Structure 1
Amino acid sequence: MGSPFRHRNFSWYFTGQLLSNTGIWFQNLALQLVVLNATGSAQALSGITVAQFLPIFLLGIPAGRLLDRVAPRTVLMVTSVASAVATAGLVLVVSEDPEMWLLYGLVGVLGTVQAFERVAAQTIIFELVGPDGLSQAASVSTIALAAARSVGPALAGLAFQGLGPGPCILINAGAYLLVFASRCLIRPAALHPRTPPEHDGGRPGTADRGATLAAPAGAGDPAGPASGPFRRDRDVSTLLVVNVVVSLLAMNFGLVLTSTVDLSYGGDAAAVGAVHTLNAVGAVAGGVLAARRVRVSVRSLVSATAVFGAVLAVNAAAPTLPLFLAAAPLLGVGLGYYQGIVNAAAQESVPPRYIGRMMSFMTLGSYGMVPFGALAMGWVIDASSGRVALAVSAASALACTVLVLLRTRSGQSARA
């Protein structure tokens, strides 16, 4: 697992991701508790999620095309500074009785910046380590997210209780400036180049999967460009469908876990931080397990989605807050393993020159679906409980297990 860290550039990238993902917890927890304290509604809380992630749904694909033409390091440096400025603006509007429309608007501005940030952060991985270490590096990169979640929520809960929401958000703004410094230390001369899409004209006929992703409308594909990767490549289409379904129905943990602890069990800010921290400790272990695999295929999603669905069901069955906290690390293991496998499979599924475009599809699924999932899960929680929302998440992950089994088995039979 340590092989990606032999690359100095990857070490600085990982450090920046760790700082960024830790700092965002101070902001997210503060915003979640401010909204819940002011409204008492999971639907109102889902509005924050919509504002944060809807720009990714709208801009994810353009961001991918941009990242196939502009150096990801350059984009990451710009977005880290822009994120610091946008985050600092939130300090002016958080209060016991916030202007919700203004709060949603500023979160939307930050989400617009993050639409490019998230695609760039995935696209740069190939350039940091090259083709040989790609699967492991993609899996290891998810550990930064999990490791940040292992300390971020607990520290954010303590900071919120001791300092209030404004200082929590300023901490995140400062973290973005440290992220900018870490990205400045990435040396361009040591990066592995990716062949730009224009090298083959972006037209069909190239003997790789990437050609289907870039084929223009009407050029050998009568169904149009959007259907190309879905219709022509079974592995890519299966991967994208699973990513969308799981992201839509099983990944809204900021909303579901926070609402379950606060509204279902009556827990305080420390309990909210604790459940996210325990979940994240397990996610680090799950990410390590995923990173031990040198090569990952779409078929690997069978075990990843099955484990994820099973641990979601265990958490949904917890009747009390102590048992819910005890089950949280298991959920983290399933989450970390799934994220490591799906990210590595996505990086390996297309040629290097199309990684930017492929990761824009993945980002669109991973984050662009979050607003719709948040609205759906917010409605489920208000109508029933957070435990029911977790049960819905478990069912969706297990359904994806069946889908991958059927699709990969059929594909293997057809090729045979």
Structure 2
Amino acid sequence: MGGRGGPGERSTRGEQDRPGSPFRHRNFSWYFTGQLLSNTGIWFQNLALQLVVLNATGSAQALSGITIAQFLPIFLLGIPAGRLLDRVAPRTVLMVTSVASAVATAALVSVVTEDPELWTLYGLVGVLGTVQAFERVAAQTIIFELVGPGGLSQAASVSTIALAAARSVGPALAGLAFQGLGPGPCLLINAGAYLLVFATRCLIRPATLHPRTLPEHDAGHSGTADQRTRRAGPGDPAGPASGLLRRDPDVTTLLVVNVVVSLLAMNFGLVLTSTVDLSYGGDAAAVGAVHTLNAVGAVAGGVLAARRVRVNVRSLIPATAVFGTALALNAAAPTLPLFLAAAPVLGIGLGYYQGIVNAAAQESVPPRFLGRMMSWMTLGSYGMVPFGALAMGWVIDASSGRVALTVSAVSALACTVLILLRTRAGQTARG
């Protein structure tokens, strides 16, 4: 964990814990810069691999193999990663994973040929996915240490803007790089980006990080969660953190919604790319354009989410409703120009949903359990992606990308109804 510092520093932290822009914290600014670089660079890798496989096979299911190899390790290792992050400093884990990611990405250069050996490619992507299982949990767990409890919701929402902002430039740059340079240089660009990410993480000062082991009367989180944790008791074989996740209905609802949406509505790398390429006959530039337009909207959606100082599970009701409606609008687009025109609307819904769900997860448990909670969220957000890719790949091959988007819209709107029913029942029980 981060160091505690002296009395004067604790006083400064008390002032910084008040809500405000997370960029007031130097450590958060370096973290955000690193995330922006990382999420931009990954587009060079993802687009190159997607187009190499599509050009060689013409199959959405073959393309889904990349997604499965990339995210299946997160499903398998997400929970162990969370346990590790409750014991090891997230900054240390992030520094190790950035270097390991650079090495694994560079190794992919040798297999991206016109006729790639798919199983070798899948295997190397799986190695990178194993590293990313720890990277993604650590990147979420460190947010509390960067800003403290007072600015947690806003920092969690703002952190999603790095993802959206990277998507606003990454796909377009990657599409141009792929057409002008080919897949190998695209992968080397991403490897270089990981080394820059390592440099930004070295600049995060451990002495000014906020410790996550806080007194039980911490005003930043309600005592209800602590009470539920204590009721789980040390005799709970799964441990107090697992007891908390099982016993808190809001946490359960949040985790269920995260899994459903991630499984059926978040496979944009597969669904949007396949829809443009296979349904509309678009080229690499069109693929980059649809992801870029989507990301521009996501930045706006993330900014809207970051305006909320505090969030809870009920905040997900408008978030899932807007997201589902935007998915339905994109599914209804009959031509590529209209699909491109609708892409920013989908981005707004996506950015707002991601900002709210991440903030709600950060606020839902005491700080000392953030490693476990964020591992469950990462398991839902990314661990379900392989299964969603299989399902969406089958739907696209059997029908079209527009049908896959319709399935996504229905799942998001169904989650809106679920949250309404669950939170209303909880209010009735408490009343």
TM (norm. structure 1) is: 0.94
Please give the per-residue CA displacement for 1:38-57, whole angstroms capped at 9, x wherever unaligned.
Answer: 00000000000000000000
Q: CA RMSD in A?
A: 2.8
Question: Displacement of 1:232 after TM fit?
Answer: 1.4
Question: Displacement of 1:197 after TM fit?
Answer: 12
Please give the per-residue CA displacement for 1:1-46, whole angstroms capped at 9, x wherever unaligned.
Answer: x710000000000000000000000000000000000000000000
Number of corresponding residues: 408
Check the 8 A contact 1:229/1:237 in 2, yes or no: no
Structure-1 residue corresponding to 2:8: none
Please give the per-residue CA displacement for 1:321-360, whole angstroms capped at 9, x wherever unaligned.
Answer: 0000000000000000000000000000000000011000
Question: Displacement of 1:195 after TM fit?
Answer: 1.1
Report the Cα distance in structure 1 between the residues aligned to 2:316 and 2:406, rounded to whole angstroms: 20
Please give the per-residue CA displacement for 1:378-411, whole angstroms capped at 9, x wherever unaligned.
Answer: 0000000000000000000000000000000110
TM (norm. structure 2) is: 0.91
Report the Cα distance in structure 2 between the residues aligned to 1:283 and 1:326, rounded to whole angstroms: 14
Does the C-alpha gap of structure 1 residues 232 and 38 become closer, same or farther in structure 2, counting only changes over 3 Å?
same
Report the Cα distance in structure 1 between the residues aligned to 2:196 and 2:260, rounded to whole angstroms: 34
Question: Displacement of 1:170 after TM fit?
Answer: 0.3
Question: Displacement of 1:205 after TM fit?
Answer: 12
Does the C-alpha gap of structure 1 residues 180 and 197 become closer, same or farther in structure 2, counting only changes over 3 Å?
farther
Please give the per-residue CA displacement for 1:204-262, whole angstroms capped at 9, x wherever unaligned.
Answer: 999617xxxxxxx9956599989734541110000000000000000000000000000
Runs of 4+ aligned residues of structure 1 deviating over 4 Å after TM superposition are: 196-207, 217-227
Check the 8 A contact 2:322/2:349 in 1, yes or no: yes
Please give the per-residue CA displacement for 1:277-334, whole angstroms capped at 9, x wherever unaligned.
Answer: 0000000000000000000010000000000000000000000000000000000000
Does the C-alpha gap of structure 1 residues 118 and 199 become closer, same or farther in structure 2, counting only changes over 3 Å?
farther
Does the C-alpha gap of structure 1 residues 42 and 293 become closer, same or farther in structure 2, counting only changes over 3 Å?
same
Aligned residue for 1:319, secondary structure, equals coil
Check the 8 A contact 2:225/2:244 in 1, yes or no: no
Please give the per-residue CA displacement for 1:140-196, whole angstroms capped at 9, x wherever unaligned.
Answer: 000000000000000000000000000000000000000000000000011001118
Instruction: Choose the corresponding residue for 1:146, options 158, 164, 167.
Output: 164
Does the C-alpha gap of structure 1 residues 150 and 201 become closer, same or farther in structure 2, counting only changes over 3 Å?
closer
Structure-2 residue corresponding to 1:82: 100
Check the 8 A contact 1:200/1:206 in 2, yes or no: no
Does the C-alpha gap of structure 1 residues 381 and 163 become closer, same or farther in structure 2, counting only changes over 3 Å?
same
Report the Cα distance in structure 1 between the residues aligned to 2:350 and 2:128, rounded to whole angstroms: 25
Check the 8 A contact 1:69/1:196 in 2, yes or no: no
Check the 8 A contact 1:25/1:156 in 2, yes or no: yes
Check the 8 A contact 1:204/1:219 in 2, yes or no: no
Report the Cα distance in structure 2 between the residues aligned to 1:253 and 1:44, rounded to whole angstroms: 16
Report the Cα distance in structure 2 between the residues aligned to 1:381 and 1:196, rounded to whole angstroms: 48
Does the C-alpha gap of structure 1 residues 56 and 403 become closer, same or farther in structure 2, counting only changes over 3 Å?
same
Does the C-alpha gap of structure 1 residues 130 and 91 become closer, same or farther in structure 2, counting only changes over 3 Å?
same
Aligned residue for 1:202, secondary structure, equals coil
Does the C-alpha gap of structure 1 residues 15 and 226 become closer, same or farther in structure 2, counting only changes over 3 Å?
closer
Does the C-alpha gap of structure 1 residues 67 and 227 become closer, same or farther in structure 2, counting only changes over 3 Å?
closer
Check the 8 A contact 2:225/2:365 in 1, yes or no: no
Does the C-alpha gap of structure 1 residues 199 and 183 become closer, same or farther in structure 2, counting only changes over 3 Å?
farther
Does the C-alpha gap of structure 1 residues 225 and 45 become closer, same or farther in structure 2, counting only changes over 3 Å?
farther
Question: What percentage of residue pairs aligned between the two structures are identical?
Answer: 91
Report the Cα distance in structure 2 between the residues aligned to 1:388 and 1:310, rounded to whole angstroms: 15
| Structure 1 stretches lacking a partner, 5+ long | 210-216
Check the 8 A contact 2:149/2:220 in 1, yes or no: no
